[in-house]
Structure 1
Amino acid sequence: MERRTLLRAAVVGGSSAALGGTLWRGAAFAAPAQPGSGPYGALGSPDANGIRLPAGFSSRVIARSGQTVTGTSYTWHNAPDGGACYPNGTGWIYVSNSEINPSGGASAVRFSSSGAITSAYRVLSGTRQNCAGGKTPWNTWLSCEEVDRGFVHETDPWGTNAAVQRPAMGRFKHEAAAADPVRQVVYLTEDETNGRFYRFVPTSWGDLSAGTLQVLVAGSATSGTFSWANVPDPDGSPTSTRTQVSGSKSFNGGEGCHYADDTVWFTTKGDNRVWQLNLTANTYELAYDDSLVSGGTAPLTGVDNITGSDSGDLFVAEDGGTMEICVITPADVVAPFLRVDGQSGSEITGPAFSPDGTRLYFSSQRGTSGSSSGGITYEVTGPFRS
């Protein structure tokens, strides 16, 4: 607890290391990405877990829904979804949402410095359809409810402090969140066919109990300039938050969201796009659009959760598609990084890197069974570039 208190104090005080020490480089992304040779090479044959990986990489199963996590007495939740990693002394913690309704919530797995599982436990209960979310610079987990007038719940990955509902962050069909320590705001996506892109401006950075919810205002084009406008009633009743501000830009099914290096990326599943906002220039454009791929078949469809690595690469998970996690490089190349075989009735969720960047965690939400009770959470280890 003392370690986290010190970290929180450093972040709230304006530390530039607010994202856990990760320094992003080369985040150019100047045009919609096109297929090409990825930085890790071609995918190999399926391994024992049915995962196709580039040479030098390996996978292991961390947890299965309805079964006890190896080495613990804790039963892993159904329908694992969004996730994030947190430093824990010489080890780390991976937090994962449960996208079921009712019950939902989130669980965590704790790892030693060698990657051995040391414990697993519940961190959030009594919520509904917890889909994605986001990590705060003060090392809490924002677990988002993907239901009408859903809440954001600020959750303790250590499972020590009780989770807290954050109604000031708006009540709508929440999907993902991404914290921006430079502008001291949290970006939020909305999973509706006419959803909006929001930011929450806390009254005091590090305290999400009060603040102003704003919505992005822009034209109908796929690139241009944008501004922010206050949402008059974040409670969203009787008028939904997405229809309160004239001129706010509609996005088709907001999903994952990721911030780094004065840029925020978010995905929209309805049109298979990855959007990027240049936060210093207040401009927006497409980082990827499957309908703008030149020649051949688009390598990335069903865009969903998104995260990034120390190298500046984006890793985008597919909901459907060919069950891949694809990489989008700063050179605007998109290529498969991994593929899960034999699980076409599922989706890939919760990609997140360990604090040292050497391990990637993710889940297949419905596994081989196609049911929420068949979820599988994996770890991939290998020579990720830094």
Structure 2
Amino acid sequence: MIARRQFLSTASLAFLGLQRYASASPASRAIAPLGPLKADPAGILDLPEGFSYKVISKVGDKMTDGFKVPGKHDGMAAFPQPDGKVVLVRNHELSLAMTDIGPFENNFEYPASLDPELCHDPGEGGVEPFLGGTTNLVFDPATGEKVSEFLSLIGTDRNCAGGPMPWGTWITCEEPENLTIGRNRNHGWCFEVKATATPGLQKAVPLKALGRYRHEAVALDPDTGILYLTEDRTDGLLYRFIPDKKNDFTSGKLQALVVVDRPKADLRNYNPRSKWPAEAEEIKVTWMDLEDTDAPNDDLRIRGHEAGAARFARGEGIHQTPEGIFICCTDGGPSRRGQLFQLQPSGSADKPDTLSLFLQSEKDDLLTNGDNLCPAPWGGVVVCEDLIDSSFAAHSHIQCVTPEGKIHTLARNAKDKSEFAGCCFSPDGKWLFVNLQSHGLTLAVTGPWQA
């Protein structure tokens, strides 16, 4: 994380140091430090004055390894390289049925050049192979150009989001539509991918100790080595993994969040008459051990809740920031417009942590249905919208939420309301990378982010 800097706009300076109040109205949260968005003549991405973007990758393009760029771009992270270049490790949320946007000429079978031993589920015995996985894209910040891109993981199912590790890897998470249907190999795992610039497919090894469910994203607390994990279900849990050996996710203890003195708590706030949780309210939480975490019946969240774990509304993006761990719950709140939680770990696996509802989106808020998110170099988080209801808006946006709870718009999908995904910054904070999932585009955005 680079040092925080204040925004160019003097309007933003007035908000630095403001305290957050639970009674603040949605309208009072909106600020515009970068100015209004300008319509993109190309009809792809609307940005503030002084900002620009490049399309650096597109579904179907030929990659360095001869394969095609797969579609359904999703979670992504940027990793520095010794030569100053950046490697993006990018998920592709491809299911079995998405053969029209897979990486191969014939997506009903793997090419002969592909070693099936490197793939998690190559489709033995006449069963179609799985097409989900990751690609690595090498980008040169000095020229603003792509250098290369290639397939780095294959044979997985609907790789949604994940999280970067400080030792230069990306944890990619499977989010199968159905975990209980018959398959040659089980799905619903996490996998670790090296952020290498050298082309080549990496061996897919499931991190089974992290549990089997509809994974979404992960965030590491580097101080304790504890990994936090979200679950994209309307009745999902929030998990943490305590490894037996720090930075090794092959063995350890999987746990679920429990609200102290409130077992089986419902944090979704779906009931419009409910006043709990309220914004900025501090909630003491602890964690309970989970059993049978390979969950062949897809019931880990159900068993966990019955034993006392709290429910969340579609936990998606999660990221460690200087202000704590932020968690997006895409359709939480009475209006189903989403919630943003903030978790403050105690620093010890044996002491209660603190959870607060940082922001709950209402009708007049700028932020709706937050999904992927990443830390902003200047503080706070950048959030990708995934509009789940066509009545909410005609276009999705990339929003910034400041540490004080203010919201401003960084970009707008000029095409439609389809989701943004995979937002992340280059290590120097000058480039924002993001995917337009349905359109199969990876964009690199630059401009006067901060002075």
TM bracket, shorter-chain basis: 0.7 to 0.9
Instruction: Provide the residue aligned with 2:236 in structure 1.
Output: 195
Instruction: Provide the residue aligned with 2:46 in structure 1.
Output: 52
Q: Which runs of 5+ in 1 are unaligned?
A: 1-20, 368-374
Equivalent pairs, count: 353
Verify the 8 A CA contact 2:258 2:309 in the aligned structure 1.
yes
Instruction: Provide the residue aligned with 1:277 in structure 2.
Output: 343
Amino acid at match of 1:53: L
Pick from 129, 133, 136 the counterpart of residue 108 of structure 1: 136
Instruction: Provide the residue aligned with 2:422 in structure 1.
Output: 350
> d(CA) in 2 for partners of 1:239 and 1:316?
29
Amino acid at match of 1:378: L
Amino acid at match of 1:186: L
* Shift of residue 137, structure 1, vs aligned partner: 1.5
TM-score by length of 1: 0.85
> d(CA) in 1 for partners of 2:17 and 2:354?
15
2:386 equivalent to 1:319: yes
Larger Rg: 2
Verify the 8 A CA contact 1:38 1:327 in the aligned structure 2.
no
* Shift of residue 329, structure 1, vs aligned partner: 0.7
Instruction: Provide the residue aligned with 2:447 in structure 1.
Output: 382
* Shift of residue 63, structure 1, vs aligned partner: 1.0
Instruction: Provide the residue aligned with 2:155 in structure 1.
Output: 126
* Shift of residue 152, structure 1, vs aligned partner: 0.3
RMSD after superposition: 2.3
* Shift of residue 131, structure 1, vs aligned partner: 0.4
Instruction: Provide the residue aligned with 1:67 in structure 2.
Output: 61
The verdict on how the C-alpha distance between 1:382 and 1:24 changes in structure 2, with shifts beyond 3 A counting, is closer
Instruction: Provide the residue aligned with 1:250 in structure 2.
Output: 311
> d(CA) in 2 for partners of 1:189 and 1:87?
26
The verdict on how the C-alpha distance between 1:95 and 1:28 changes in structure 2, with shifts beyond 3 A counting, is farther
> d(CA) in 2 for partners of 1:384 and 1:256?
22
> d(CA) in 2 for partners of 1:303 and 1:113?
28
The verdict on how the C-alpha distance between 1:262 and 1:231 changes in structure 2, with shifts beyond 3 A counting, is farther
Give 1:7-156 correspondences, 5 Å limit. 22=2, 30-31=20-21, 34=26, 35-68=29-62, 73-89=66-82, 90-102=84-96, 103-114=131-142, 115-147=144-176, 148=179, 150-156=188-194
> d(CA) in 2 for partners of 1:164 and 1:94?
20
Verify the 8 A CA contact 1:152 1:169 in the aligned structure 2.
yes
TM-score by length of 2: 0.73
Verify the 8 A CA contact 1:64 1:76 in the aligned structure 2.
yes
Pick from 421, 437, 442 the counterpart of residue 365 of structure 1: 437
Instruction: Provide the residue aligned with 2:365 in structure 1.
Output: 298
Pick from 209, 215, 226 the counterpart of residue 174 of structure 1: 215
Instruction: Provide the residue aligned with 1:9 in structure 2.
Output: none
Secondary structure of 2:301 counterpart: helix
Secondary structure of 1:125 counterpart: strand
Q: Which runs of 4+ in 1 moved over 3 A?
A: 21-34, 71-74
Amino acid at match of 2:285: F
Secondary structure of 1:39 counterpart: coil
Instruction: Provide the residue aligned with 1:371 in structure 2.
Output: none
| Deviation by residue 1:164-200 (Cα, 9 ceiling, x = unmatched) | 2100001000001111101211110001110000011
Pick from 414, 419, 428 the counterpart of residue 341 of structure 1: 414
Instruction: Provide the residue aligned with 2:320 in structure 1.
Output: 259
The verdict on how the C-alpha distance between 1:213 and 1:376 changes in structure 2, with shifts beyond 3 A counting, is same
> d(CA) in 1 for partners of 2:233 and 2:67?
34
Greater shift in the superposed pair: 112-121 or 127-136: 112-121
> d(CA) in 1 for partners of 2:413 and 2:251?
42
> d(CA) in 1 for partners of 2:399 and 2:425?
15
Secondary structure of 2:155 counterpart: coil
The verdict on how the C-alpha distance between 1:163 and 1:86 changes in structure 2, with shifts beyond 3 A counting, is farther
Q: Which runs of 5+ in 2 are unaligned?
A: 6-15, 97-130, 180-186, 266-275, 333-337, 347-351, 388-392
* Shift of residue 31, structure 1, vs aligned partner: 4.9
